[in-house]
Structure 1
Amino acid sequence: MATATKKKKKKNNNNFKFIKWFWALFFAGVLSIVLIFLVASWEWLGELPTFETLENPQTNLASQVISSDGELLGKFYLDDNRTDVAYEDLPENLVNALLASEDIRFYEHSGIDARGTLRAVVYLGKKGGASTISQQLSRQLFVGVRSKNTFEAIVQKIKEWVIATRLERQYTKEEIIKMYLNIYDFGNTADGIKSAARIYFGKAPIDLKIEESAMLVGMLQNSSYFNPLRRKEKVRQKRNMVLGQMGKYGYITEKERDSLQAMEIDLNYHPESHRDGIATYFRMYLQRFMNQWAKKNPKPALKGERDKWNIYLDGLRIYTTIDSRMQKNAEEAVAEHMKRLQAEFFHQNTPDRNKTAPFIEEVPGEIDRIMERAIKSSHRWHNLKNQGKSEKEIRASFKEPVEMTVFDWNSETKEKDTVMTPLDSIRYYKSFLKTAMMSMEPQTGHVKAWVGGINYNHFQYDNVIQGARQVGSTFKPFVYAAAIDQLRLSPCDLLPDNQYCIEANKHGNPDPWCPKNSDGKYSGEMLTLKNALANSVNTVTAQLIDKVGPRSVVSIARNLGITGDIPEVPSIALGTADLNVYEMVGAYGAFANQGVYVKPVMVTRIEDKNGTVLFEYVPETKDVLSKDVAYAMVDLMSGVTQGGSGTRLRTTGAEKYNPAYKEIITGYPYEFKNPIAGKTGTTQNQSDGWFMGMVPNLVTGVWVGGDDKAVHFSSIRYGQGASMALPIWGLYMKKNYANKELGVSDGEFEKPEELSINVDCDKVEEDTENVIDTEDDLDF
């Protein structure tokens, strides 16, 4: 019995010791956890984010470029193509997929899931990790990539716990979910859920289907490994695991789960880069504009923030005047016409037809100078020069064949892989005709479409605003405007089509100037100003500039926003000045806007990421011409499309087979019936083709030509503005009119109530009442 009593006492002592050790270990554990948190909060394990930083965590946000019709044209970013989306704009199925696969007890814990942590410790992570959504967010925001060093990894984990609990106190559960999905890098420049939904599926997050949401949530484990572009089957397996979890926790039915798991990954990949999408040339202009704006406008920075705006990091919203629908129409019109025009140019410049193709050498040594300039301005030249290569070595490298990807109109991707020497590639690229097009609403100055070239990836020079080329006869309306304004002439007034000379030393001209008509002939007839402009009769234009003087013409052009160099000599009447499409469209806008010049505008408003307005555009306007004169000019230019070089806009050409296109084409598929005012322009040797076209609420300018003036058609048939540039305008307007929502006018130009200038030329007869006195001139 004594032995039994001793055994009982020993057992009780053992139980007591066990209980004592249990509680000792328990309190030691609790104390250790508390101590760990205290040590971490005292920053003994490294710096932690401050209260202010937690309040305003700094993440790089891409700036958005938004069209006038609310579409995203593109973004400005360096490494992070991120745009925040509100929690309300996240679909329920996306949130459910996230909770089911990452943190099912998210709404029950305060940053640390005790059950999950214990499970991870006991099973060494084999049955899932213990990182909550809050911890994953803290790692993304403040901790960074997990270290491979065990001790450092443990310290990082402790920091995650501390920051996660702080985030839980600072933000609501919904805000944490929103922040996590907004900050995660889904790969392929898809930073954040908004970019991911757009890049992988071509839609907004709210429109994601269940299987699409499951795929994106599956990528959260490791977006580099689970990359749907490279490992589609792995991504499908991971997506199905997420769908399985959603079924397990009742977010979807068993039938839905099985059906969705059977589906293949269906991507609608929309890569986003500075060179992809629409309005690429415009966005590159806008990038320069925004960088200048950022320099001039200080940022009201908070503590620890940058004191200057950064368009790549600060998530600005830039509201532009570009209409995405009209921009697409413009780009399609350019591609459709330029592809065919280029085919004709290649057809005419085969080696047996032109041994110096793509050049036509008017001046001895011109081709050599062009090629030498191109060689020395190339990236290859500068790169090899920086590497210390000799000039002999560099020049030799230009003759060695290399593999390269070049532009090709006939490829679906507009690129083809080939092998050629760098010297041949320069000649190849010189053979492409370039273009520029801008379309503007004259009453507001809002630029609706902007196409700076044929392909931004391969031709990055923006011909809308960077390029300046001879404008040819599109300058003549400025001469006519000066004459009508100062001499009170009428479109119905008459002048003879005879050879006309301006004597030497008059108007600053050192030599006599006797311009010829384009065909070298003179009809000898009396022509109305309307007929003379419609047919670009040079002799009549010469008479007009002689009467008003070059200075008054230059003054009109300056008031219409032209800043390019225009010498005050009579020859400017025929368009010898080099001007750009941007300023020409702005100037023509005043004719359509009853004589009021409105400076072209591209940006209406800039907001910060919180919606605070930082900039709003104030229109810049100037009264240049009276309503009567402006309307008379519109009437004059209407003659261009009624009986002049723009008549093909009114007719349909016969169908014919063209060997260059290798297809049957319709000559002029436009047949416009509505009022159109415009002017074609063709420069010497057909180097430049222009068309300026106007309807009451839209003015559009188009230029087509080669990089160098030696690159041109050999004949006027294809080299004139009516063949090179006008078709782009016609195709563009056909597309615009097909979409009634755009509201492009097909009505009459507004006529002043009391028009003092006669524009009805139907009854004009050749009598002295309408003949302009050629001796009466104004020498300004």
Structure 2
Amino acid sequence: MAKAKQKKSQSFLPFIKWFWILFGVGIFSAALIFLLASWGAFGEMPTFEHLENPSTNLATEIISSDGKTLGKFYLEDNRTDVSYNELPQNLIDALIASEDIRYYNHAGIDARGTLRAFVFLGRRGGASTITQQLARQLFVGVSSQNIIERIQQKAMEWVIATRLERSYTKEEIISMYLNIYDFGNNADGIRSAARIYFGKEPSNLKIEESAMLVGMLQNSSLFNPLRREELTKNKRDMVLGQLAKNDYISEAEKDSLQALEIDLNYNPESHREGLATYFRMYMQRNWLKKWVKENPKPDGEKYNIYLDGLKIYTTIDSRMQKNAEEAVEMHMKNLQAEFFHQNTPKRNPTAPFLDITNGAIDTIMRSAMRRSDRWRIMSGQGKSAEEIEKSFHEKTEMNVFDWNSDSYEKDTIMTPMDSIRYYKTFLRTAMMSMEPQTGHVKAWVGGVDYKHFQYDNVIQGARQAGSTFKPFVYAAAIDQLRYSPCDSLPDNQYCIEPLKHGNMEAWCPKNSDGKYSGKNRTLKNALANSINTVTAQLIDQVGPASVVNIAKNMGLGDNIPEVPSIALGTHDFGVYDMVGAYGTFANQGVYVKPVMVTRIEDKNGTVLYEYVPETKDVLSKDVAYAMVNLMEGVTQGGSGTRLRHTSAKENQVYKDVVTGYPYQLTNPIAGKTGTTQNQSDGWFMGMVPNLVTGVWVGGDDRSIHFKRLAYGQGASMALPIWALYMKKNYENEELGVSIEPFEEPEDLSINVDCTKVLEEFKEETDTEDDLDEDIGF
């Protein structure tokens, strides 16, 4: 019996021997695989420095003065990192419960989970820890389908995971993982995902919202709430189930949360959508481009605004920007409807053009064709001019702007040439608002819709200023001749002789209605009613050179011609420059160059740029205050009087010209309207003590305009946008927009109390029209 047992045990010796040999070989092979992986035999392994600073592309973030993200600049990755402290606890709980319940108890590899996955071949869940998933996202890449390569990748993943655990805390690994993940739809990282899918910061996510985003971590393409809402909801409910299973929430909470539908607040983040699109594009294409060129990194390389994760702190106030965009939308939609009504083929066969020949229209259209993107692209492809022009007369499917559609765009079929004419029918606008004491630009609207109208009329456009230039003439007269708003000049036809001030022939501007009262008018009355004869006398007395010098010192450029006709606004100016210049009046004579950026930081918070104000003393406090007093007359008894109307009866007259909004503004306001020849341009420059805002409205070409002055004057086209914007600002007291009077200088030496004098001219005051019919062409 003993011999039999001995013989039997000896027969098992080879098996035991081979078992230990195979076990040893397995252990050795596994060790060798990990050793080879750590040596980089299966692919380049990250260095210690690389682990400390993993290379992830970070979007540059544009931040408003009130701390809101206006937009981002990125090529592929719309990513802005957040710290662990900015993540809500419910998001962290959902991640741990569903992805790695033993996360805080392992060093990068979960042995129990790995053994389970090996025994059950992955049928009871995978074994990848959060740290391994981060390693895969950062350094390993997409898993291969080849079994050998998959083993090699897994080995690399394990080695990197253990190294990450030695380099970072558990909290840092969680934030890195959530920051690096691509949630789809340009939502790179948890911050973009929270903003895009729910319109909020990560810290404000609800439990069910966090559960949905965690569910997307398995496969954001598959669990896409925009395309597969039901599937995404089921996955969310599974995460909620894991939260309950692991005692993060109760069963009752789980049931109530699972009963909820997915409630998305989708906010796509792209360069052409969102708030302050025109401003953001100016920052990207102009301001930052120049800054990057002039401010290299310490090693001489240029900053990349699409990859380096810069934070651009701007002066824009997101609340005021929203108010500005809503005011533009509200008024321009109504104004455009009236413009379409007046420019039907029956009423105007050459619509939208007026008072020009068919030959001139053809020239405008062909010029627009050659400036178009289609022409540029096809020309770059080597197409001949004949081929390109032929394509402009072939019908094609396109998406065009449409005020009457819910999304303000519609699909249609037309020729590219017809689309050019179609877009010519839309009136354009520009608006900028600035704090005069600091130069901080608070709102910037370059057009009605950036997606379809990409020309920025704030900074790119320049149009005749009309009567909005007259205050610079008055400022020169008050500054140099010590006039006061109460001094008067005769309202008679006035001619400036040939060769005087450089003009080659006599210049005899007419008043808007072609009439002259023959009586004296105070400067305040004359400016309020845009009396051209008085303005002509003033520029004749001080000379065009003096007016140009003041205008230049107030930021209006260097190429203003020194001729008398500039007094009536014949020269072209942009809204950006005009707002900066008017800010001088509100800022007691000190010009402050408009500021858009206050600070730039790199991704680590290091300050790379801080702005230094650019200022210039131009006018004395007394002269500046006298000018403000003059322009207050525009809203007290001139073309801006409609800002004050409150009753339905008084307001009815304005309903007939599309501007029947009940403004009811009672606070001190200084301003000036402007209207150029044929109503081609409508302006309004409005000021309260701490906010200066300029608005321009007009056609893409000067031949596109209203036929009647009632609709085409600045008081009808531009002023309503200013008024609507200010009413919205005043509804939010947190904005702190002034309702107080302008500050009067101590020991004011210029008389501004014109009460007695104005009574003499009360009957002569024209409160309706601010016209510049003869602007010296």
Question: Who is 1:488 aligned against?
Answer: 482
Kindly indicate whether residue 284 of structure 2 is the aligned counterpart of residue 290 of structure 1. Answer: no
Aligned residue among 230, 235, 238 for 2:232: 235
Contact 1:435-1:702 at 8 Å conserved across structures: yes
Kindly indicate whether residue 614 of structure 2 is the aligned counterpart of residue 629 of structure 1. Answer: no
Q: TM-score, normalised by structure 1?
A: 0.94
Q: Residue type of the partner of 2:505?
A: D
Contact 1:343-1:660 at 8 Å conserved across structures: no
| CA apart distance, 1:275 | 1.3
| CA apart distance, 1:158 | 1.3
Q: Residue type of the partner of 2:159?
A: V
Q: Residue type of the partner of 2:519?
A: E
Contact 1:474-1:679 at 8 Å conserved across structures: yes
Distance 1:731-1:550 versus aligned 2 partners, 3 A rule: same
SS at match of 2:105: coil
Query: How far, CA to CA, are the matches of 1:666 and 1:453 in structure 2?
Result: 19
Aligned-pair identity in percent equals 74
Question: Who is 2:708 aligned against?
Answer: 715
Question: Who is 1:12 aligned against?
Answer: 9
Contact 2:292-2:303 at 8 Å conserved across structures: yes
| CA apart distance, 1:660 | 14
| CA apart distance, 1:390 | 4.2
Q: Residue type of the partner of 1:537?
A: I
Distance 1:572-1:660 versus aligned 2 partners, 3 A rule: closer
Q: Residue type of the partner of 1:296?
A: E
SS at match of 2:588: coil
Aligned residue among 117, 120, 123 for 2:117: 120
Question: Who is 1:777 aligned against?
Answer: none
Question: Who is 1:772 aligned against?
Answer: none
Distance 1:15-1:242 versus aligned 2 partners, 3 A rule: farther
Deviations 1:491-521 (A, max 9, x none): 1111111111111111011111111111111
Q: Residue type of the partner of 1:61?
A: L
Q: Residue type of the partner of 2:695?
A: V
Question: Who is 1:451 aligned against?
Answer: 445
| CA apart distance, 1:646 | 0.7
Contact 1:585-1:692 at 8 Å conserved across structures: yes
| CA apart distance, 1:384 | 3.4
Question: Who is 1:361 aligned against?
Answer: 355
Kindly indicate whether residue 187 of structure 2 is the aligned counterpart of residue 190 of structure 1. Answer: yes
Query: How far, CA to CA, are the matches of 1:637 and 1:486 in structure 2?
Result: 19
Question: Who is 2:78 aligned against?
Answer: 81
Query: How far, CA to CA, are the matches of 2:514 and 2:36 in structure 1?
Result: 94
SS at match of 2:103: coil
Aligned residue among 467, 473, 476 for 2:461: 467
Deviations 1:653-676 (A, max 9, x none): 647999999x99772411211111
Contact 1:492-1:764 at 8 Å conserved across structures: yes
The range that moved more, 253-262 or 744-753, is 253-262
Question: Who is 1:144 aligned against?
Answer: 141
Kindly indicate whether residue 688 of structure 2 is the aligned counterpart of residue 691 of structure 1. Answer: no
Query: How far, CA to CA, are the matches of 1:92 and 1:194 in structure 2?
Result: 15
Question: Who is 1:66 aligned against?
Answer: 63
Contact 2:583-2:591 at 8 Å conserved across structures: yes
| CA apart distance, 1:252 | 2.1
| CA apart distance, 1:15 | 5.5
Deviations 1:110-159 (A, max 9, x none): 22222222222222222222211111111111111122333222221111
Structure 2: gaps of 5 or more residues: 761-777
Kindly indicate whether residue 733 of structure 2 is the aligned counterpart of residue 740 of structure 1. Answer: yes
Question: Who is 2:155 aligned against?
Answer: 158
Question: Who is 1:771 aligned against?
Answer: none
SS at match of 1:343: helix
Query: How far, CA to CA, are the matches of 2:61 and 2:743 in structure 1?
Result: 38
| CA apart distance, 1:23 | 3.8
Q: Residue type of the partner of 1:35?
A: L
Kindly indicate whether residue 372 of structure 2 is the aligned counterpart of residue 375 of structure 1. Answer: no
Kindly indicate whether residue 589 of structure 2 is the aligned counterpart of residue 589 of structure 1. Answer: no
SS at match of 1:764: helix
Q: Residue type of the partner of 2:373?
A: H
Q: Residue type of the partner of 1:577?
A: H
Question: Who is 2:40 aligned against?
Answer: 43
Query: How far, CA to CA, are the matches of 2:136 and 2:648 in structure 1?
Result: 69
Distance 1:11-1:210 versus aligned 2 partners, 3 A rule: farther
Q: Residue type of the partner of 1:472?
A: G
Question: Who is 1:774 aligned against?
Answer: none
Contact 2:396-2:413 at 8 Å conserved across structures: yes
Aligned residue among 87, 96, 104 for 1:90: 87
The range that moved more, 573-582 or 107-116, is 107-116
Query: How far, CA to CA, are the matches of 1:333 and 1:709 in structure 2?
Result: 24
SS at match of 2:533: helix
Query: How far, CA to CA, are the matches of 1:254 and 1:168 in structure 2?
Result: 34
SS at match of 2:61: strand
Contact 1:526-1:766 at 8 Å conserved across structures: no
Deviations 1:25-70 (A, max 9, x none): 3333332222222212222222111010001111111111111111
Kindly indicate whether residue 633 of structure 2 is the aligned counterpart of residue 639 of structure 1. Answer: yes
| CA apart distance, 1:161 | 1.1
Query: How far, CA to CA, are the matches of 2:560 and 2:328 in structure 1?
Result: 29
How many pairs align? Answer: 759
SS at match of 1:155: helix
Q: Residue type of the partner of 2:756?
A: K
Distance 1:253-1:51 versus aligned 2 partners, 3 A rule: same
| CA apart distance, 1:106 | 1.6
The range that moved more, 245-254 or 153-162, is 245-254
Distance 1:765-1:78 versus aligned 2 partners, 3 A rule: closer
Question: Who is 1:538 aligned against?
Answer: 532
| CA apart distance, 1:185 | 0.2
Distance 1:211-1:479 versus aligned 2 partners, 3 A rule: same
Query: How far, CA to CA, are the matches of 1:659 and 1:549 in structure 2?
Result: 40
Q: CA RMSD in A?
A: 2.1
Aligned residue among 399, 423, 426 for 2:420: 426
Distance 1:74-1:175 versus aligned 2 partners, 3 A rule: same
Aligned residue among 559, 565, 568 for 2:559: 565
Contact 1:320-1:605 at 8 Å conserved across structures: yes
Deviations 1:555-598 (A, max 9, x none): 00011011153101000000011000011001000101110111
Query: How far, CA to CA, are the matches of 2:276 and 2:453 in structure 1?
Result: 14
Query: How far, CA to CA, are the matches of 2:758 and 2:100 in structure 1?
Result: 90
Q: Residue type of the partner of 1:289?
A: W
Deviations 1:268-320 (A, max 9, x none): 1111111111111111111121121112112235xxxx932111111111111
Q: TM-score, normalised by structure 2?
A: 0.94
Structure 1: gaps of 5 or more residues: 768-780
Deviations 1:251-273 (A, max 9, x none): 22222223322322221111111
SS at match of 1:517: coil
Question: Who is 1:265 aligned against?
Answer: 262
SS at match of 2:500: coil
Question: Who is 1:130 aligned against?
Answer: 127
Question: Who is 1:678 aligned against?
Answer: 671
Aligned residue among 278, 289, 314 for 1:281: 278
Contact 2:33-2:152 at 8 Å conserved across structures: no
Distance 1:419-1:67 versus aligned 2 partners, 3 A rule: same
Question: Who is 1:173 aligned against?
Answer: 170
Aligned residue among 373, 389, 393 for 1:399: 393
The range that moved more, 30-39 or 593-602, is 30-39
Contact 2:335-2:658 at 8 Å conserved across structures: no
Query: How far, CA to CA, are the matches of 2:343 and 2:148 in structure 1?
Result: 71
| CA apart distance, 1:693 | 0.5
The range that moved more, 609-618 or 122-131, is 122-131
| CA apart distance, 1:333 | 0.6
Query: How far, CA to CA, are the matches of 2:492 and 2:389 in structure 1?
Result: 54
